[in-house]
Amino acid sequence: MLFNSLTFIVFFVIVLGLHYTIRSWRTQKFVLLIASYLFYAAWNPPFVMLLWLSTIVDWYVAKALEAQEAPAKRRFLLTLSLATNLGMLGFFKYGEFLLENFIGLAHLAGMEFHPALPSIVLPVGISFYTFQTLSYTLDVYFRKSKRCQSFLDYALYVTFFPQLVAGPIVRASDFLPQCLQPKRATRDQFGWGLYFITLGLFQKVVLADGLLASTADTIFKAKDDPVFFLDAWLGVFAFSAQIFCDFAGYSTCAIGVALCLGFVLPDNFRSPYAAIGLSDFWRRWHITLSSWLRDYLYIPLGGNRGGTARTLANLIITMFLGGLWHGASWTFVVWGLLHGFYLAVEHLLRQLFPSVSWVKTGLGRFGLSLLTFLLVSLAWVFFRSSDFPTAWLLLGSLFDFGGNGSQLLLTREIIQVTLVVGGLLATHWYLHEKRLEHAMQNLPAWWVVVIWATMLCGLILTQGGGNAFIYFQF
Q: Which residues are the active-site residues?
A: 326
d(CA 411, CA 462): 20
Per DSSP, helices labelled H in 146-228 are 151-159, 172-175, 187-201, 213-220
- Give residues with Cβ within 8 angstroms of 34, minimum separation 6: none
User: What is the chain's length?
Assistant: 474
Amino acid at 405: G
168 preceded by a cis bond (ω within 30 of 0)? yes
3-class SS at 170? coil
Largest CA distance in the chain: 72
112 class by beta-carbon count within 10 Å (0-12 exposed, 13-18 middle, 19+ buried):
exposed
Query: What does residue 110 show for φ and ψ, rounded to 5 degrees?
Result: 85, 10
Left (φ > 0), alpha (ψ -120 to 50) or beta: where does 125 sit?
Answer: left
d(CA 102, CA 358): 51
